[in-house]
Amino acid sequence: MADRVTLAYVSTFKRTTHPAVDTSRAKDDRAATTASNPESEKEDGMAQKKTTRRIFISDIHMGDKRSINSQKPHHPYCWFYDESGSSVGDRPEMLTTFLNEYCAHKRISEVIILGDLFDEWICPSECDPTDPSNPMPPSGKQFNNIAESTQNEQVIAALMQLASKRKLKYMPGNHDMLADRTIIEGILPKIEYVSTQVDGHPVYRADGIWAEHGHGYGLFNAPYPDRSGSGFDASMLPLGFFVSRLAAESAFTTGRQFGPTDIIMDWLKDIFIKVPAIKTSTRVENHGVRDEVDDILGQLFDAMVLSYANGKDAVMNGFDGVPGSLQWKTVKDRYANIFAEWSNTHPNNVGDVDAIRSDSANLWPAACFVSTRHDDARIIIFGHTHECTFSSNVKPDDPSRRPLPGAQPLYANSGAWCRDAAHCTFVETVFDPSTGKHSVQPKEWARKAGGSYAASNYGYGGWVTV
């Protein structure tokens, strides 16, 4: 399949540029758009067979009602809301129509949300990330606040309809990592909460598909391992939580929005400039070099705090059991050896350098890691990066292991639906049990000339079978 679909190794600190659909093939594109909608009677011969059709979406990032407040001197910091008239558009409306018109169709067997449906992380560091009306509110209260926010009502209603048909599945990402089964089922009754854990993070596995959010391979976003004690000592929150809080603080106070991924890509670039020897590495064995990387990360974090914290501590109010507020030095000290300790804190994972890449919009090394260790993973699907990608160039990260002939795995990323994504994308798969084959296609949901929405193939040609 490598001759049909290939994608070069993603740049280590530059977001992937994805090919646009060739406008010279407008007639073919219109046909593809029609064929990609489940209402069509035929789709590459698959409609007449008893197949399992799955939709994978991720990274919606719904926030609470405070996050869209534009009263001066403050600014909105939410990643998912109505910006009609801008290039971003009305994301809640787009997702609602997608769920109601596309996903609800009888031919769609399952809709799997690969995390970051809710966003507890994008909250200014000076604000309460739990519930400002409650000191030390009960766990999960903020998820209810998000679900009950006016800007999310239609999306929640559409999700409830899918859940009532027993076709909606969900697993947490990093921005909603505290959402357990009880919390999610309380908001969306009859949803299926994916609880199967592999190496400490939830994974959806079925018919050769391996799907997860992808943050479990990231240095800054993988949950911190269980530790003794209480409060911050026992918290699972990774450093990325605090980077996200500072990014939200910038948006809140200045109106300047940027994503934590942009920060981490800049950090990786800085590390490669100062420690060029590791640029082509997957992991670092030299203890001195590991310490040097941690020192650089500490300096970069200090600079970010100085630029965006406005001299204020990080308010926690019970978030993940952390009371009161945290001084930024306390935060820095906890993660002071984050790079040097990676192989101990997160065993059975990618190398430490690849762990930074994984949080820099590049999960290709993680896909190679999965394909090496799990022979049944024929199609690997992640979210997390906010970049819809597709590659048949997944290679074992262990040279002694090679895929069986004709069994080269595929990697696809579902992209995102929040404001920093230029396109609202998803991955669609069709499994034919009579042949044991999958057809896979990244797709986009977009408004057509007449004002209605439709799905079309996203930048990678037609269906690919594996």
The model's pLDDT over 135-174, given as tens digits with 9 standing for 90+, comes to: 767 778 899 999 999 999 999 999 999 999 999 999 999 9
- Please tell me the predicted confidence (pLDDT) of residue 6: 29
Q: Does 23 score more than 50 pLDDT?
A: no
The two beta strands, 192-193 and 168-171, are parallel
- Please tell me the predicted confidence (pLDDT) of residue 29: 37
Percent of the chain with pLDDT strictly greater than 70:
85
Amino acid at 164: S
- Please tell me the predicted confidence (pLDDT) of residue 139: 74
Q: Does 199 score more than 90 pLDDT?
A: no
Q: Does 431 score more than 50 pLDDT?
A: yes
- Please tell me the predicted confidence (pLDDT) of residue 466: 78
- Give mean pLDDT, residues 325-353: 96
CA distance 292 to 271: 9
- Please tell me the predicted confidence (pLDDT) of residue 398: 57
23-27, 187-191, 330-334, 409-413: which has the minimum mean pLDDT?
23-27
Confidence of residue 32 (pLDDT cuts 50, 70, 90): very low
- Please tell me the predicted confidence (pLDDT) of residue 153: 95
Q: What is the pLDDT of residues 246-299, one digit of tens each?
A: 999 999 999 988 888 999 999 999 999 999 999 999 999 999 999 999 999 999
Q: Residue 87 class from Cβ within 10 Å (0-12 exposed, 13-18 middle, 19+ buried)?
A: exposed
76-85, 139-148, 295-304: which has the minimum mean pLDDT?
76-85
- Please tell me the predicted confidence (pLDDT) of residue 69: 83
- Residue 160 is encoded by which pair of tokens? 């409830």
- Please tell me the predicted confidence (pLDDT) of residue 38: 53
Confidence of residue 201 (pLDDT cuts 50, 70, 90): confident
Q: Does 328 score more than 60 pLDDT?
A: yes
Q: Does 89 score more than 60 pLDDT?
A: yes
Confidence of residue 462 (pLDDT cuts 50, 70, 90): low
The two beta strands, 410-413 and 390-391, are antiparallel
52-66, 73-87, 318-332: which has the minimum mean pLDDT?
73-87
- Please tell me the predicted confidence (pLDDT) of residue 408: 76
On average, the pLDDT of the chain sits at: 86
Residue with the bigger pLDDT between 196 and 212: it is: 212
Q: Does 30 score more than 90 pLDDT?
A: no
Return all residues near 395 (Cβ < 8 A) that are at least 6 apart. 368, 371
- Please tell me the predicted confidence (pLDDT) of residue 136: 66
- Please tell me the predicted confidence (pLDDT) of residue 17: 35
Q: Does 119 score more than 50 pLDDT?
A: yes
The two beta strands, 204-206 and 209-211, are antiparallel
Q: In what order do the strands lie in the sheet with 410-413?
A: 204-206, 209-211, 379-382, 410-413, 390-391
Percent of the chain with pLDDT strictly greater than 90:
68
Residue with the bigger pLDDT between 421 and 30: it is: 421
Contact 130, 142 (CB under 8 A): yes
